[in-house]
Structure 1
Amino acid sequence: MDLAALKALKPSEYQAAADGYRATSEMAGKAGEALDSRISAGIRNQLSGETAKAALRELKELSKDFHYAAAECALAGAALDGFAFDMAAAKRKLEAALEDAAAAGCTVGADGSVSFPAGGKEVDGKVPEGGTVRVSTSPADPTSAALERQAVHMHPNPNFGKAVGFADRIGDALKEATDADVKWAPKLRALKADDDLVVSDKDWIDVKSDTAGVRDAGKDYFDSLPRPPEHDDPKKNAAWWQGLTDEQRSDYLSAHPDAVGAMDGLPATARDQANRTVLDEAHAKARLDYDAWLKKHPEPERYQPYIDPYTGSMPKGLSVESQEWKDWEEARKKVWGPVGGMEAIEKRFDYTDESKRPYLLGFDDKNNGRVVISIGNPDTADNVATYVPGTGTTLSGIDGDIHRAEMLQDRASLTDPTHTTASITWLGYDAPQGLLTDATDAKYADAAREPLSDFLTGIDTAHHGSVNSTVLGHSYGTLVAGETLRDHPDLPVDRAILVGSPGSGVDHAKDLHIGADQVWAATARNDLVNLAPPPAGTLAPLNPMAYWRLFNDHSVMYGNDPTSDEFGGQTFHVAPGKLPGSDGLMPAHSQYWEGDSLNNMAKIVTGGNP
């Protein structure tokens, strides 16, 4: 970067180009949304057959193209803004140096050299002559810098020292501009997409790499923007977001999608946009990892001849699955699990009704995974139900939990068609995985109290009006919900539903701070959670109350049974459920989203009484 180029450079032109890329990103996003919400939804609602299926497959790929284009164009806009910011800083330094040099009577040449006039005390009857100082864009080593300071001190013309200072400032500005050019050029080149219409898994891996590159290169630019709150305070998050310009929001979202997607209090549309990018990147990596695993672990022979354990003979034509294949299949399913969970989320984007549009409000594939998804827009819905699942919930098995939210939203819409309902699955915590091990420890709920509180506060903060909010806990999720309500008296929650509960962390409904008459509980007669033991120690053999408690106590693992009279809340009717062992170990524990139970929960969620 030379003096003429930096003087002529106009950062505003790059900012204008950034605006163009942002506009393209927005158009691509709207085009993809239109494909999903109108065109594809219309085909699903009105057509069937192989032709319709083929059309939907092609439209799905086109929708992916638009989403990819939206992400990359937004990144290009952020990169150009970052480049313009860096170059504007260098240009300001150059212009300040040139102005100061002119004011001091110095002349700056086309190569950046600084000519200074004669000046100083006469020596042998002559005023020390002027001269020229060459500019350098190379960093000076300590020895050179020391020699330069010595030369300035010894030079008889004081204008020499001034010229040296101006030359150094010009050199610094040129070096800063050169460094910015060198830094940003490869980042911008990396944003060039493949010349095809197929968005592959590798393309999304590149998006993640591009995002990291833009974020790192643009650190100074992003640091110049209003900083987001250090802690997840929904109200402060909302104020920060509202304080940004549209351009700043776009840049921050494109470079920090994981941070924006996790911020409680932000609009559902912004969080959804950010989290879908995070999901696409994670899905692509998981699929590539799965393919690599298959290549490294080829499928063994599935069947082997059956050997009669009594006779040792091998009946002709009779075969069984080999143990080697069974072990391989178990390992394969474990590797595939997160991929299947992500695809279960993505298939919700193929909705047929705008009222059932999904909003991905949180996503993380680390460990067992975290997923927060709303069926319906929680920012505009009259009723919002937040379902907290319990033991065993993971990203791999999230399909069933999302389906529960869908069923509740659908039934609530039928129950109260004059008001809209958004139904959320909130797996925003690390759920315990073992029924007889992890689930007996409250530490998972303890760690979930603040995240759930922030989320529920964020829903209220981002809402466009008043909202009827219900938190629905199932199994261990009732403990998470109960502890959260217990420890946050001012939480914006109107009603609570506790189903299949081993206890909610309190002995009395009033301790949940929403009014005992707004706390509803139910447990199916055949649900084995009824056998949840009292708190540890209450059945100690030498405890005189032990035998009384055994037959007449209503305490369960985490406080009083929410369906007991002692708890003091409301109860509602549910079917007995299937007997243990008739369809798995605890079938009744998973039957609350059907029949009378679902109808009654829908009535509660919409503000009625079952």
Structure 2
Amino acid sequence: MVTVSELENARPEQLEGSARAARKVSVDLGEHINRTSRAWSALQATWYGPDAHTAGANLHHHRLDLTQARLAYGRIDSALSDFAGELRQAQKLLKSALARADGIHATVTDDGTVRVSDEVMKGKSSAERANIKAQLKTIADDIAKARTRAVTADRQAVAQLTGVSMPDGPDIDATPLLKDVPTDPQLVKKWWDGLNPDQRVALITADPKRIGGLDGVPAIDRDQANRLYLDNEQEQLAARKRAAQARIAEIQRLGDQGKGSPALLSEALELQKKIAGFDEKAKQLNHFEEKLNESDPRSSTERRFLLKFDPAGDGRAIVAVGNPDTADNVATFVPGTGTTIADDTNLFNRGAIMQSDATLRDPTATTSVITWLDYEAPSFVSFGPEPGPATTGSAETATDLAQFQNSLRFTHEGPRSRNTILGHSYGATVVGYVADRQGLDVDNIVFVASPGSGQGLAGDAGDFRKGLDKDNRLRVPTVFATRAENDPIQAVSGAGGGLAGTNGPDPTEEGFGAKVFRSDPGTTLLPRPQGDNRGEWGYGGAHSDYWNGPNNPESIYERPQVNEARDNFSRIITGMDDQVTVDTPTVHRGRIAY
């Protein structure tokens, strides 16, 4: 067992430095792989025959070795980053305990024994002596927890590093391994645990998209697979652009030779349009990758994990700040209308803000916040003929979100985590719809600025399907809700006039049964810029203010103080329900005018 002085003097910053160095090697290897691929693509245009075939086969094996090395350094980065984070939390808990010991003039030995001298107890009443003894026990317990946490983190890091597979391992054909892969997350976890490190690397390398999107695969492995898939997509975009440019050059040569035609000219123009599209998509993916690799995002010291990625259309992604498989608190944030992978505020910033806030709220616990954008968020709040989210693929969305959320229980290590799901705007309606129809194994459901709970109009907080605990006992999630006084979403929420109610009941209303908590009133709507005719509500306003605070500088409505809703988010996520500032449930006032 680590001693008190050893834990006090531990240097997590050294581990973080080593993690950053491993991360840089992994990134550099990825760039080298891409450069090698580009060079080979150019060479293939002019080199044919048996020698070219042999060179291509050798280069393929070389790329596999480089990819395996890249994944190995990525795993080293994850192991050391997680270890450093856990060590910091253990030190914070120890520091707090030692400060309390000083406060009652107690001494702490290196083995964690806490005692006070007879002189301290002298003259104390029985009640005072009992109080001091109770404090001594609490302090000793916290010191023991801190030491145990450090030792556990050390063992986990050793296990992760021992499992790193380097390129000198055997070549493994992943094709047989990809047959009959289970889809149930619990079975996926069992299947993945039964593979050796070399087999896992082979699977990630062979089919990163499939492995990266498989619920039940641990977060570290999904992150590696999805980052590899992202790199592959970027390289394929570049390859398609090069092919289009080569064809345009060929058409130009034909024209110079007098062999041009209207059809060839039309083809060249279409190719130029495609190149513009490739450039735009490449710009989007490059920015997405930069945000993934951002250090110290929004004051959070945790690294990001890419748990799913799909570049098609506007793009889909699941991004976690902190490792959900090892965190004490795990929150899933579902953003609303207009969110795409190009939306930094919803996809990256708000999750990082909530993770940082939760860590400040409870430094003794680790927190991971996941942003779930694995659905096509509509461009505006939509209204269907029946209550619930009126979006294409609602049933599919419900299944995907429920399966992902519930799979977090199977991949989590250690004691059961406190899991919260929080939806904003239309994302809150999606959360309610899923909880009502599929069931979510969560401790808390949080509605923020919701246009409706996603249920039938007679639904309430007690109707959500309950998740099961580890002993298959029904768990009752606590339902929270908030809406700012100036938030225009109230015009379409609940059972009021106009279009109100078509997305289900208003979670902040009397009778729904949610614990309604306070938010700042929020800013009133600003007029839209001249020529912008996208609706009557105007621009921004309180609907976007819930995360306002010092480390959220992109908001044009920035205030120096933290929005009260944001404070309450961190209290809910960390289990401090008794500190949540309550508000009075609303009585719907019908459509409001701005």
**TM-score interval, smaller chain:** 0.5 to 0.7
Match of residue 272 from structure 1: 223
Contact kept in structure 1, 2:522 and 2:545, CA below 8 Å = yes
Match of residue 295 from structure 2: 351
Closer, same or farther: CA 260–71 of 1 in aligned 2, 3 Å: farther
Aligned pairs for 1:290-305 (under 5 A) are none
**1:480 aligned residue (415, 426, 430):** 430
Offset of 1:191 from its aligned partner? 4.3
Q: Distance in 2 between matches of 1:409 and 1:457?
A: 20
**2:314 aligned residue (353, 364, 368):** 368
Offset of 1:364 from its aligned partner? 0.7
**1:578 aligned residue (523, 537, 542):** 523
**For residue 588 of structure 1, what is the amino acid of its counterpart?**
A
Match of residue 563 from structure 1: 508
Offset of 1:355 from its aligned partner? 4.9
Offset of 1:67 from its aligned partner? 3.6
Cα distance per residue 1:355-404 (max 9 Å; x no partner): 51111101110111111110001010000000011111112224543100
Closer, same or farther: CA 268–40 of 1 in aligned 2, 3 Å: closer
**1:525 aligned residue (485, 498, 517):** 485
Q: Does 1:282 align with 2:233?
A: yes
Cα distance per residue 1:237-293 (max 9 Å; x no partner): 111111222222121111011111001111111001101111122234456778999
Over alpha carbons, which structure has the higher Rg? 1
**For residue 188 of structure 1, what is the amino acid of its counterpart?**
N
Contact kept in structure 2, 1:499 and 1:522, CA below 8 Å = yes
Q: Distance in 2 between matches of 1:253 and 1:564?
A: 48
**For residue 602 of structure 1, what is the amino acid of its counterpart?**
S
**For residue 232 of structure 2, what is the amino acid of its counterpart?**
E
Q: Distance in 1 between matches of 2:542 and 2:243?
A: 40
Match of residue 468 from structure 1: 418
Cα distance per residue 1:411-448 (max 9 Å; x no partner): 00011111110011110112112445799724454331
Contact kept in structure 2, 1:370 and 1:430, CA below 8 Å = yes
Contact kept in structure 2, 1:338 and 1:396, CA below 8 Å = no
Match of residue 65 from structure 1: 28
Q: Secondary structure at the match of 1:359?
A: strand
Offset of 1:478 from its aligned partner? 1.0
**For residue 362 of structure 2, what is the amino acid of its counterpart?**
D
Contact kept in structure 1, 2:321 and 2:370, CA below 8 Å = yes
Q: TM-score, normalised by structure 2?
A: 0.56
Q: Distance in 1 between matches of 2:278 and 2:521?
A: 34
Offset of 1:70 from its aligned partner? 8.5
Closer, same or farther: CA 291–441 of 1 in aligned 2, 3 Å: farther
Match of residue 378 from structure 2: 432
Q: Secondary structure at the match of 1:408?
A: helix
Offset of 1:228 from its aligned partner? 4.4
Contact kept in structure 2, 1:41 and 1:350, CA below 8 Å = no
Q: Distance in 2 between matches of 1:355 and 1:533?
A: 37
Closer, same or farther: CA 413–248 of 1 in aligned 2, 3 Å: same
Contact kept in structure 2, 1:362 and 1:372, CA below 8 Å = yes
Closer, same or farther: CA 375–601 of 1 in aligned 2, 3 Å: same
**For residue 580 of structure 1, what is the amino acid of its counterpart?**
L
Q: Does 1:187 align with 2:57?
A: yes
Q: Does 1:38 align with 2:44?
A: no
**2:194 aligned residue (243, 249, 272):** 243
Q: Secondary structure at the match of 1:396?
A: coil
Contact kept in structure 2, 1:376 and 1:423, CA below 8 Å = yes
Closer, same or farther: CA 519–477 of 1 in aligned 2, 3 Å: same
**For residue 475 of structure 1, what is the amino acid of its counterpart?**
S
Match of residue 177 from structure 2: 225
Q: Distance in 2 between matches of 1:334 and 1:502?
A: 37
Contact kept in structure 2, 1:445 and 1:479, CA below 8 Å = no
Q: TM-score, normalised by structure 1?
A: 0.55
Q: Distance in 2 between matches of 1:581 and 1:249?
A: 52
Contact kept in structure 1, 2:335 and 2:346, CA below 8 Å = no
Contact kept in structure 2, 1:375 and 1:406, CA below 8 Å = yes
Q: Distance in 2 between matches of 1:288 and 1:591?
A: 42
Q: Distance in 2 between matches of 1:373 and 1:229?
A: 24
Offset of 1:601 from its aligned partner? 0.6
Aligned length in residues: 382
Match of residue 112 from structure 1: none
**2:324 aligned residue (372, 378, 390):** 378
Aligned pairs for 1:334-345 (under 5 A) are 336=280, 339-340=283-284, 342-345=286-289
Contact kept in structure 2, 1:228 and 1:237, CA below 8 Å = no
